[in-house]
Each structure stands twice: as C-alpha cells, then as structure tokens.
Amino acid sequence: MSYTIETIGLTHYYSKGTVQQVAAINDVNLKIEKGELVGIIGHTGSGKSTLISHFNGLLKPDSGKVLVDGVDIWKDKETLKKSRFKVGLCFQYPEYQLFEETVYKDIAFGPKNMKLSEAEIKERVMRAAAFTGVKAEHLGKSPFDLSGGEKRRVAIAGVMSMEPEVLIFDEPAAGLDPRGRNALINLIKDYRKQTGSTVIIVSHSMEDIAEMADRVIVMNNSSVAMQGSVDEVYSRGDELRAMGLNVPEITEIFAKLRAKGLDVPQNVYTVEQGAAILRKLLERGSAK
Amino acid sequence: MIRDITIGQYYPGKSVLHSLDPRVKLIVTFWLIVVIFLCKSFFSLGLIALTAVAAAALSRVPAKMILKSLKPIVIILIFTAILNIFYTQGGETYFSWWKIEITEKGVNTAIFTMIRIVSLVVISSLLTYTTTPTMLTDALERILSPLKVFKIKVHTLAMMMTLALRFIPTLIEEIDRIMNAQKARGADLETGGLVERAKALVPIFIPLMVSAFRRAYELAFAMTCRCYTGGEGRTRMKQMKIALRDIIAIIFCAAITAGVIVLNHFFDAVI
C-alpha cells in the first residue's frame, strides 16, 4: 500500500559543512495515510517547520527520501513541480505573502501557475473564496485594504484554490483572537470533511491539535518522539512536559478535579468535551 | 542560498587594531589609501605592502579570512594585469609575436598595479574586519559632525545607516520566507528569459516592500515611545576617547607617508 506522504530516513542539516552543522531533522520515518488529519506538535526549534518544508520539496533532504503517492519527489524536475501542487503549504502568517492588485488575482496566483484554463481558474477561485468566507464584494478590492483576519482568509484561499491532495498548515491560528481561532479550526475541519483531503496541522497549541487531529506526531530534538491517537499521546503528560510541551489546561483542571475526588474521566482534552461532562455532572447533582 | 550572503565581515577579537578608536581607524585607512596612490616606485609601494602585511598580522585576523576578501577581486586583478601587459609599451622587449609585444615596462606596470590593488583591498578590509558596522557609523557621525554648520543632519544620516545595516539580516530572512511561500504556490523563480524572471520577482518584491514599510512604522513608533527626538542633546553610552595607541597609529601613518615621499624621490618611477 502506498501512503499519501511517506518519509524514509529523512535527515536535513543546517549550516552543512561548517563547524556549526546541526541536524534540523534526523532520521524521520513517517507514514501519512490518505484522508487523515494529522497534527504535528513540538516546541520551538524541534524541527517541525523544517519537516513540512520537505513535504512539497522546498527543502532538499541531505539524506533519506520523501515519497508523495509512492513517488520520490526528487526523482526529476517534473515530479518536483507536481509535488508543489499536490501538497499545498500554508505558512505561518500567510497574509504576508499577498501581493496582487486584487483579492481575486491573488487567489488565482496558484491555479495560474498550474496553467489551468481561465474558466477552471475562475471556478476554483470562487470555490475557495466561498469556502474560506471571503466576501464576493471583496474579490475586486486590493488585498491590502482588508483587515488582518480577512487577509488571512484570502491567503488560505490562495493555497486552497490549488486544490491540493494534501494541505499543510503551519500554526494556522497564530495571532488570531479566540473567535478567529474557532472560526479557522471549524474551517479546516469542514474543508477536510467536504473534500476528503489529507490535512496536516503544525502547531504548538495542544488544544488546537486535540480539537482537530485524528493522529498526533510529537517532534522533539529533531526526530519523532511519539505518535498515536490524541488519547494515546496526551495521556503521557509527564513525558510531554519533559519535552517542553504541556497537556491542555482543561486536562489539568480535570486532573485536579479527580484529585479532589470527583468522578471525572482522565482523557478530557478540549473545552467542549469538558463542558459537556461538567454539565452532565451538574444535572445528576441537581436531580439528587 | 540567499542566507549565505554576509554583509559586514566583522571578525571579533581583542587585538591592538580592534581597540583603536574607530574614528582614527577610519581616517588612517583613508589616509593610507591616498598614500597608496602616491606611490610611484616599487620601493615606496613595497613599504605600503609591508605595512599592510604588518597590520594584518597585528589584527590577528586569520590569513584565510584576509585571502577570502581578495577572492572577489581575482578577476579584476587578472583583467588589469593582462591589459597592462599588452597596452603598456616601453623598455626591453621580452616576447614578440605577430602584433603582440610584451615589454619590460608592461610587465612592471602589471605587477605594480596588482600589488597596489591587493594592498588597497587588504587595508580596507582590515578596517571592516576589526570594526563593527555600528562603530563605523558612529565614527562617521563624529567625523562628519562639523558639517552641521551647513545644516546637514549628520546624526539622522548616521542613524539611518545604522538602522539600514541592522535590518539587512532581517530582510534577508523575510525574502527567504516570502520566496518559500510563493514557491509553495507554484511560483517559478528559476526558469524563463530575462523578462519572465523579472516578472517572477513581483510576488516577492511587493510583500517585501509592504513588510519593510510595516517594520519601519513599528520602529518609528517604538523610537518615539522611548522619547527619541533626533540627535539634539543626545549623549552616548560608549564615549570615544583618543588613547596613546591612537596617537602612535597617527604618527606611524605620518612616518609611512614621509617614507613613501622620500622613496619616490630617490628611485625610478614605474608609472
């Protein structure tokens, strides 16, 4: 069986050939299945951004391989170019990459580079704009006239319009207020539900990952430290803390409630989960 | 990769050259460069070359680093040498074939210009190896401060220079980031003709400009918040003081100048 993305012994050095040579990622072996929503967590400098820059060939591995749909993306130039369109990468603060005169043109930049027909480009831009909630009346405006949140939507639409098989987000919620964050998380979940594409989220927010991911990969010291379901990974709180990560606040609160003798489960990772459990508990209490 | 570009090649150290007053260093460097062009004979030029070597040894900057600074000018060196050999005629003929003649004067001029260029580069790169860019702009500000009489805002200019230098690495990082983001959207930066390549720069250049202006506004706000109002009444944390070694450096320079003039007088001129 071939995976959507597979890495074999992937290694990348920074400042290669000098005394300061360090492995940014070291012998990473990963398999990402079609349609999965994978969260990659790790503290700053753990190599997660370097890792995802290999998935669409922005960085060339110093050793090891990256396979997309079973094909080595560095096989030849053509394959490399195709992998850029197969694997869409939405960087942190994507709003800083906007450049066109109009929002429409900016969203169309990716599809245009794919050399699609005018009609196809228009269809894709409209689809991506509608999906990300970019208002139709904004399409003719300059992207620089929009607000921060709107800019980010436009930038995400610019990546989504390429309709990649795999969509990668690097810290998608960075710098957003809680409402913006929730909207974005719902957007990503909806996108995945509607298109069935593979989605990879890179974040250091344990809450965000818990809310979205089917599977979690933990990066530490340039390599994969743990992987598994949210439950499997988040139950190893002490190990996570040793890696400079933390279990979500709500999990801590529930641990304290347990310590006080309340009968609550251990595996609570999102506020919604927690709220539901507490509500049930309260109803039971008042019924008595 | 774009990250490999190094600007400002300061080599940290504690040598005498490092501890000289930057103002003195700046003046001495320009002074020596002028003296290089005063040299007319091999002997006077030899004195300067010797000074350059001695200064390099004194700076304790590794010879490898100094040779590295000569690397970009290798082509210029070869080019000038060839031009001089073929176009300067006179004296004994060493080699002649068809219309090409290589003469004594040609060879001498070629060697002379090569030594001159090398000394020039070594001396000026020693200045940047032993002085941080901030120290240099500070020194420049102080040296140019008499221009205030002509209503030239020397402090503002120096501050602009310092800030420009400070933001070069930041902007290089930014270019890197934007390039990656546009490449991820399928931007093709490597292939195509000149016009296409120039067009391909637009998606990088515009976000870069936007972010440079944003940073400039932020910095201006931050400076205003810390009561920056320009050079008026501003004192320095690190005062520059002329020490004994600075005076010795100036005397040394004067001695070399005198030596060059004397040697020019007693020996035949090459140029």
Rounded CA-CA distance B182/A183 in Å is: 25
- Residue A195, by phi and psi: left (phi above 0), alpha (psi -120 to 50) or beta? alpha
Q: What is the CATH number of the domain that holds A128?
A: 3.40.50.300
Shared domain for A210 and A271, answered yes or no, is: no
Residue A288: its pLDDT value, please?
Answer: 58
Strand A223-229, strand A63-68: pairing: unpaired
Phi and psi angles of residue A132, each rounded to the nearest 5 degrees, phi first: -85, 0
Q: Which of A84, A98, A159 sits opposite B207 (nearest CB)?
A: A98
**Domain residue extents for chain B:** 2-266
Q: Are residues A187 and A259 in the same domain?
A: no
Instruction: Report the residue from A84, A97, A113 with minimal CB separation from B207.
Output: A97
Given a cut of 60, whether residue A26 has pLDDT beyond it is yes
What is the share, in percent, of chain A residues with pLDDT greater than 70?
Answer: 98
Residue B59 to chain A, least CA–CA distance (Å): 23
Tokens 């920074």, located at residue: A14
Which residue from A minimizes the CA distance to B174? A96
Q: Are A228 and A280 within one domain?
A: no
CA distance B181 to chain A (A): 7
Cα separation values, B217 from A149, B154, B223, B266, Å? 20, 22, 10, 61
- Most A CBs within 10 A among B185, B189, B204, hence the mutation to make, goes to B185
- Complex ipTM value: 0.85
**What is the reported pLDDT for B1?**
41
Measure in Å the smallest separation between the Cα of A183 and chain B Cα atoms: 23
CA-closest candidate to residue A110, choices A71, A44, A66, A155 = A155
Nearest 5°: phi and psi at A57?
A: 75, 20
A128/A257 same-domain check: no
Give chain A positions within 8 Å (CB) of B204.
Answer: 99
Q: Indicate if A268 and A197 belong to the same structural domain.
A: no
Q: What is the DSSP string of B16-50?
A: HHHHS-HHHHHHHHHHHHHHHHH--SHHHHHHHHH
- Report pLDDT for A145: 92
Q: Verify that A79 and A216 share a domain, yes or no.
A: yes
pLDDT above 90: residue A39: yes
- Gap from B182 CA to chain A (nearest CA, Å): 7
Which three-class secondary structure state does DSSP give residue A218?
strand
Q: Given an 8 Å threshold on Cβ–Cβ distance, is A96 in contact with B207?
A: yes
Number of domains, chain A: 2
Q: What is the pLDDT along chain B (271 residues), one digit of tens a residue?
A: 444 444 457 888 888 888 889 999 999 999 999 999 988 888 899 999 999 999 999 888 888 888 888 888 889 899 998 888 888 877 777 777 777 778 888 888 899 999 999 999 999 888 988 888 888 888 888 888 888 888 888 888 888 888 888 888 888 889 989 999 999 998 887 777 888 888 888 999 999 999 999 999 999 999 999 988 877 777 777 778 888 989 999 999 999 999 999 988 888 777 6
Mean pLDDT across chain A, nearest whole number?
89
Question: Which residue, among B197, B202, B185, has the nearest Cα to A58 in the 3D structure?
Answer: B185
Closest residue on chain B to A85 (Cα): B186
pTM above 0.90, yes or no: no
Instruction: Specify the 3-state DSSP secondary structure of A224.
Output: strand
In the predicted model, what is the mean pLDDT of residues A64-91?
90
Which residues of B fall within a CB distance of 8 Å from A94?
Answer: 181
Tokens of A180: 């913006």
Interchain CB contact of B59 with A (< 8 Å) = no
Does A69 share its domain with A205?
yes
Do A121 and A259 reside in the same domain of the chain?
no
Residues A211-260 pLDDT 10s: 899 999 999 988 999 999 988 898 888 888 888 888 888 888 888 888 88
3-state secondary structure of A41: strand
Q: What are phi and psi of B94, to 5 degrees?
A: -90, -35
Nearest to A56 by CA among A90, A15, A31: A90
Q: What is the pLDDT of residues A249-283, one digit of tens each?
A: 888 888 888 888 888 888 888 888 888 888 988 88
A216 and A253 co-located in one domain: no
Residue-wise pLDDT tens digits, A118-176: 999 999 999 999 999 999 999 999 999 998 889 999 999 999 999 999 999 999 988 88
* Residues 6 or more apart in contact with residue A103 via CB below 8 angstroms: A129, A134, A138, A139, A140, A141, A142, A143, A146, A154
More confident residue, A88 or B238: A88
* Residue with tokens 């080019």, as numbered in its chain: B79
User: Angle at the Cα of A241 (from A237 to A244), degrees rounded to 5?
Assistant: 145
Which pLDDT value is given to residue B72? 84
Range of the domain at A254: 248-288
